[in-house]
Copies of this chain bind each other. A is one copy, B any other.
Amino acid sequence: MSSEAKILLPESELPRAWFNIIPRLPNPPAPPLDPKTGRPLDPEALRAIFPRSLIEQEMSPEPWIEIPEEIREVYRLWRPTPLRRAWRLEQALKTPARIYYKDESVSPPGSHKPNTAVAQAYYNKKEGIRRLATETGAGQWGSALSFACKLFGLDCTVYMVKVSFYQKPFRKSLMHIWGAEVFPSPTERTESGRRILAQNPESRGSLGIAISEAVEDAATHEDTNYALGSVLNHVLLHQTVIGLETKKQLELVDERPDVLIGCVGGGSNFGGFVFPFVGDILAGDLEAEVIAVEPTSCPTLTKGLYRYDYGDTAGLTPLLLMHTLGHTFEPPGIHAGGLRYHGDAPLVCQLVADGLVKARAYPQNPCFEAAVLFAQTEGIIPAPETSHAVRAAIDEALKCRETGEEKVIVFNFSGHGHFDLAAYDDFLEGKLEDYEYPEEKILEALEQLPRISAPKDDD
């Protein structure tokens, strides 16, 4: 075991291929369905908004997919990222556990998001696309895609959830610095936006609405494609650089993880971090507990229904089999952080449904409490999303204090909170409310789900 605070990999150890979990799964993933026919989607239908190479990756049976050198060159601006040993946090907790965190906050936009943004910008550029359209909530994804588009010479249009556009102006500033155009969604620029505004001119927006707008923008412009920051298989694939590096780093210090933890919004930082380890678990080479953490105000994995649902509010996207709170979900305004998406990545949901991943939900106050302890010991200030993983890691370490177990706890530090300090102010002033998403709302949402049974239910 090393006594160092940072376990670093040289740039020569940057992964050369992404890890595809699909061919390793015990059961093949349920196919996305065409929203018009309810039949498995013809991949050609996605050509209006995605480049061919990403559609191929979405369905690929290959266990490894090579990372083009142009992408690795950009990754080298901040990758490999450090794996850090949380010595001071361990001391503060008086735990015999050893806590490590993979620090994805060191990228220019401050989170794991550019791992896929850079890949998506590259493939779109290569296939002759001139502009990418996307949605963003708090702005993590929008800023990452703006950054990536600038590096590859693409234009970038971001539909930013209106309430965040006005309340969280700083990731919008990042997007402007990196040359993107940013609109508060719902906008008058799209049919989907105009429909929402006609119903409710005061709409604060939601991720689902912003996705509808960005997809429509891409589908109606020949030179424009759409880019999604989470949920889809190819997005999680690109994020596996996180877990692949972490595995090498743990080997360097001769450690094997007992507990692996990540926060889940759409599931991409979680999937990217744990999939390479889940591959080992499935192969019988590793025994570890894998924990997905989400907020009680958006409890998709812990309380949602495992059903086919749309990815967006307007029902433009294919149907995906996932844990969902219903595509009309609007997150409660009292919730400070991200992790507000109504569904989750189908690959993550399948692992939860199969019992390979355990899901856990926390209210926001205990998460901020954990984040402040983390900042006061390790220095770095977690994003509110990341604070959910920090909370779970601390709870696991406290369990070890009770049992005396010297477990190796590894979590993904998905991003820093430099642009979320107003939420910390609210927490420190006691202004944050906890919120449990009510059961009756989930039953209501059931009524709004499309009338399509999961293929699993048919079998």
Contacts and interface: CB of A to CB of B under 8 A. Distances in A.
Contact of A77 (B379, B381, B422): B379
A232 to B, nearest CB: 25
A348 B5 CA distance: 34
A77 B375 CA distance: 12
Given A4-B76, A108-B381, A376 B173 contact: no
A10 B8 contact: yes
Nearest to A381: B177
A170 interface: yes
Given A177-B372, A177-B428, A170 B6 contact: no
A421 B178 contact: no
A421 B174 contact: yes
Number of copies: 2
B147 A177 contact: no
B428 A176 contact: yes
Contact of A8 (B8, B147, B176): B8
A421 B175 CA distance: 11
A147 B380 CA distance: 10
Nearest to A4: B11
Chain A's interface size range is 35 or more
Interface in A352-408: 372, 375-381
A174 B424 CA distance: 9
A179 interface: yes
A78 B108 contact: no
Nearest to A427: B177
A130 interface: no
Contacts of A256: none
A245 to B, nearest CB: 14
A24 interface: no
Interface in A191-227: none
B375 A178 contact: yes
Nearest to A11: B4
Interface string A137-170: 0000000000100110000000000000000011
B179 A376 contact: yes
Interface in A412-438: 418-419, 421-422, 424-425, 428
A425 B11 contact: no
Interface centre among A76, A106, A109, A110 (most CB of B within 10 A): A76
A379 B78 contact: yes
Given A11-B5, A108-B379, A150-B376, A425 B88 contact: no
14 contacts: A5-B76, A8-B10, A77-B379, A106-B106, A108-B375, A108-B379, A173-B425, A174-B381, A176-B428, A177-B372, A177-B375, A177-B421, A177-B424, A179-B376
Given A6-B11, A77-B379, A110-B418, 6 more contacts: A88-B151, A108-B375, A151-B377, A176-B425, A177-B375, A418-B418
